Amino acid sequence: MTVVSRTWRRFVIGHDLCKHLSLQMFPQLSRVDHVNKLGGSTKALEREHRAYAFLARCCLSTTVGDCISEATIASSTDNYLWENICNTLEPRDRVARTASYWSSKGQKNPVVPETLTYRLIADLYVVTEIKIRPFQAYFQFGYLIYSAKSVRFRMGHIKDADESCHDSGTDRFAWTYTSQEFEMAQENCLQTFKLPESCQDSGADRI
């Protein structure tokens, strides 16, 4: 039984069966550029086998839910004490009788974008949709709704592992996924934006 198991394992690794099965089950993994191969050809194949087996297990164990760990950077904030980015993680529009929302400083040119950066709980996630609810100022005359005209989502990682994700600026990130631009409805409701598998890629994922 041991001989058969070892022979079968060598066959699976030698023919990249784990990689092919993983790509068939999760086409998104085809965006992986390559696995860093160290050592000889046999060790390289074993490393690639373990990498794709790990990715497949992670994808299979994925549960539906919130994957954001913390809010880290806002391109600008009007009043940090009351209107900071951390409020965007609160689903309610008021907490302890206080309005809960984020507000940028605003721009004279409406074309200038504002950005919010978040950190995920784990290093690997399959993100299929993102939900946003615009804030309605219930304390203002006319109950104005403060909503972006459109949104775009990017996924990436810090270029230098020694840097903190809390440092200001987004040029320290390597963006590996950029979504299309989605129009937002000017309504006070939870809006869902589904991410297509195809994307405008600014880089390649590596393991």
* pLDDT digits 0-9 by tens, 62-79: 666 778 889 999 999 999
Dihedral sign, Cα of residue 89, residue 94, residue 100, residue 101: positive
- Residue whose C-alpha is closest to residue 19's, from 40, 50, 44, 63: 50
Q: Is the pTM of this model over 0.95?
A: no
Average pLDDT of the residues of the chain: 81
**Under a CB-based contact definition with an 8 Å cutoff, are residues 173 and 116 in contact?**
no
Residue 22: partners with Cβ closer than 8 Å, 6 or more residues away:
29, 52, 53, 55, 56, 59
Task: Report the candidate in 141, 79, 133 with the shortest Cα–Cα distance to residue 106.
Answer: 79
> What was the pLDDT predicted at 203?
37
CA distance 132 to 190: 6
* DSSP codes, 149-181: SEE--EEEEESSTTS-TTSS-STTEEEEEEPPP
Q: Dump pLDDT digits (tens) for 79-114.
A: 998 999 999 998 888 888 888 899 999 888 888 899
pLDDT, position 23: 83
- CB neighbourhood size of 68 (10 A): 13
Q: Where are the alpha helices (DSSP H) in the chain?
A: 2-14, 17-25, 41-60, 80-83
Contact present, 156 and 127 (Cβ < 8 Å): no
